[in-house]
């Protein structure tokens, strides 16, 4: 029973991830008033679970390979990550849960002198590629869709309806990609510990289900606080640019789910928004919130690593 209670650290982390990262899925749609928050939360929760169960195992293997964990160290890592993400969520910053969990793993690795740099290098490269990749995808989608709409000569009323459904579909895909990619951040450190007497794919499936359900609870209970940050602070998105941003974000995050590296959905959506701003004019960019968000990205792994290191000294 005690082992199962240790998993509550991961459940807490899943809740904080859902509370923060749902803004990256439906935040642009909600702030552009194309969909209500309640509808967005239900849809996001359903597709997060589906994505985690179907494609969450690869990311779990990556994180579990970054250091040998015991049940106690896995619990400290997950709680330290959750505390860090929750703190930054209260500050209304779209932080990176992926960076937080890796920072916590590094903090534990420093404590135990057990750092695996090969896996860390892969993760760091993917972190750099996430915002840049989303930016590039957003630019391509923007010009491609704009050209298509001009050739089709869709009326304004018809376009509004198409974009509404497009945002819903893109948000569902984004939620699926979030589950597939980020469930590893929630329960990946427990992989290989034999918590349920299972091994391999069966263990990954159960951990993915538990992790994704906790993310869904976070989405439904606390995500509304963060949604306005991405949708309004950097650039006020209309329905078309919101659709482009969410689609670029989902494609980027899903790509890294195939690669097997949990990445930041916050970095993906903000990279996509910056790509749209570059197309429409760099003078439209609000620099102060962007700098604040980037400071949060840098601070996240440092804070999580420090909290985890302190937790290791106290409890391990």
Give 155-208 pLDDT, tens digit per residue: 877 887 888 889 899 999 999 999 999 999 999 999 888 777 777 788 899 999
Phi, psi of 127 (to 5 degrees): -60, -45
Position 225 pLDDT exceeds 80: no
Residues 263 and 111: their CA atoms lie apart, in Å, by 24
**Mean predicted confidence (pLDDT) in 210-220:** 94
Q: What is the largest CA-CA distance in the chain?
A: 65
Does residue 18 or residue 23 have the better pLDDT?
18
306 to each of 59, 91, 134, 159, 303, how far by Cα in Å? Answer: 24, 19, 30, 49, 5
Q: Which of 2-16, 257-271, 298-312 has the lowest mean pLDDT?
A: 2-16
Please write the tens of the pLDDT for every residue from 36-93: 888 999 999 999 999 999 999 999 888 877 877 888 899 899 889 888 877 776 776 6
Q: Could you tell me which residues come within 8 angstroms of residue 116 by beta carbon, excluding any fewer than 6 positions away?
A: 65, 66, 67, 109
Neighbours of 199 (CB within 10 A): 10
């Amino acid at each position: 029973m005690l082992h199962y209670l240790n998993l509550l650290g991961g459940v807490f982390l899943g809740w904080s991830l859902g509370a923060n990262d749902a803004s990256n899925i439906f935040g642009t749609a909600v702030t552009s008033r194309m969909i209500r928050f309640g509808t967005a939360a239900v849809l996001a929760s359903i597709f997060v679970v589906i994505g985690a169960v179907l494609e969450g195992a690869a990311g779990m293997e990556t994180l579990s390979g970054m250091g040998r964990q015991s049940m106690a160290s896995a619990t400290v890592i997950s709680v330290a990550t959750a505390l860090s993400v929750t703190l930054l969520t209260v500050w209304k910053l779209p932080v990176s849960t992926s960076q937080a969990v890796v920072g916590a793993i590094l903090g534990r690795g420093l404590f135990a002198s057990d750092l695996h740099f090969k896996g860390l290098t892969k993760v760091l490269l993917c972190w750099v590629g996430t915002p840049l990749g989303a930016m590039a995808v957003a630019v391509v989608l923007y010009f491609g869709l704009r050209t298509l709409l001009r050739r089709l000569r869709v009326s304004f009323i018809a376009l509004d309806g198409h974009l509404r459904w497009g945002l819903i579909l893109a948000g569902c895909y984004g939620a699926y990609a979030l589950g597939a990619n980020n469930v590893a951040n929630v329960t990946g450190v427990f992989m290989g510990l034999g918590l349920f007497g299972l091994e391999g794919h069966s263990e990954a499936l159960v951990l993915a289900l538990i992790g994704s359900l906790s993310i869904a609870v976070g989405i439904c209970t606390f995500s509304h606080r963060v949604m306005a940050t991405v949708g309004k602070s950097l650039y006020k998105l209309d329905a078309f640019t919101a659709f482009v941003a969410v689609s670029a974000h989902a494609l980027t995050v899903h790509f890294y789910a195939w690669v097997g590296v949990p990445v930041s959905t916050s970095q993906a959506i903000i990279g996509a928004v910056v790509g749209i701003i570059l197309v429409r004019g760099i003078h439209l960019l609000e620099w102060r919130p962007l700098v604040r968000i980037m400071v949060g990205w840098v601070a996240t792994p440092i804070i999580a690593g420090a909290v985890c290191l302190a937790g290791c000294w106290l409890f391990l």
